[in-house]
Amino acid sequence: MDAFRHSHSLGQNFLTDRNLLSAIVADAGVAPTDTVIEVGAGQGALTRPLAETGARVIAFEIDKRLEDYLRPLEAQFPNLTVVFADFMKCDLAEFGADKFKAVANLPYYITTPVLFGFLEQSGCESVTVMVQKEVAERIVAPAGGKDYGVLSVSAQLVGKPRITRTVGRQMFTPPPNVDSAVVHIDVEQNRVDEQVAKVVRAAFAMRRKTLVNCLSSAGYDKTRINAAVASLGLDASVRGEKLTPDQFIRLSGLL
Ligand code: SAM
């Protein structure tokens, strides 16, 4: 099993440090009564401490070569189910996970869709994920800065994301080209509906243009946009990146 050939395209950068793995489980605040969804179980480094909490763990892994590592773990923990499938094609409703905590060291190439996917699920109680450090910085970025964008607004509309730890590339086997960080979000309320998502996407579609121009390019009526911007007390030349998540909600309501 030592000769496992890591697939770069599947984002196979595995963790081995037990202290770090336990710390990630602690960041997630997993209790024995929880259901945990893990995306990308790999060789089970994180799956094991998750299963050891006693929580019901459903771990997804796309690469069948990892069966040699994960099937024995599944045999050892009756509370663990390993699903060999592409998580992007799975419907969580089929696994009876009405409420769940998402915990994962995510494969970098699907970080954003997986994260958005979790945040959109009504049963998602919290998300604790290892992502590239720069993605983590974008998720927690405050309004107005260069890192603030669609990812920041979307995550901050559901809760208060925070970086619980940064993790150097040397902690992974093989080491990736960038450092990583663990982001934790307790889902307090889900305020992202289709309309809000559309306004946020439009607002950041052209970063050098004003909010008014971005929204009008996206098809919103210019008179309405101007009235909405004015009633929020914002200048007509304001750019999307200046609006807080709350202001996006109000803007969307006004449009
Ligand atoms: N959890 C392990 C760890 O921390 O050592 C592995 C994490 S590794 C960064 C990501 C894992 O996700 C890899 O094992 C990879 O095969 C798996 N993976 C990649 N794409 C996937 C997908 N679409 N669905 C499920 N698993 C996937």
Nearest by Cα to 51 from 27, 78, 29, 26: 78
- Cα–Cα distance list, 90 to 119, 131, 165, 191 (Å): 16, 21, 29, 24
- The CA 88 to ligand 1 mean position distance, Å, reads 12
Task: For the full predicted model, state whether its pTM sits above 0.85.
Answer: yes
- The CA 225 to ligand 1 mean position distance, Å, reads 43
Mutate to test the pocket of ligand 1, among 12, 37, 47, 48 (most ligand atoms within 8 A of CB): 12
| Cβ-based neighbours of 170, under 8 Å, separated by 6 or more | none
Mutate to test the pocket of ligand 1, among 64, 105, 108, 132 (most ligand atoms within 8 A of CB): 105
Per-residue pLDDT of the chain (255 residues; tens, 9 = 90+): 458 999 999 999 999 999 999 999 999 999 999 999 999 999 999 999 999 999 999 999 999 999 999 999 999 999 999 999 999 999 998 998 899 999 999 999 999 999 988 988 889 999 999 999 999 999 999 999 999 999 999 999 999 999 999 999 999 999 999 999 999 999 998 888 889 999 999 999 998 999 999 999 999 999 999 999 999 999 999 999 999 999 999 999 999
Tell me, using a 6 A CB cutoff, whether residue 60 lines ligand 1: yes
Q: Which two tokens stand for residue 237?
A: 């030349």
Give the residue, by CA position, lying nearest to ligand 1 atom 18.
40
- The CA 59 to ligand 1 mean position distance, Å, reads 10
Give the residue, by CA position, lying nearest to ligand 1 atom 20.
10
Residues written for the chain: 255
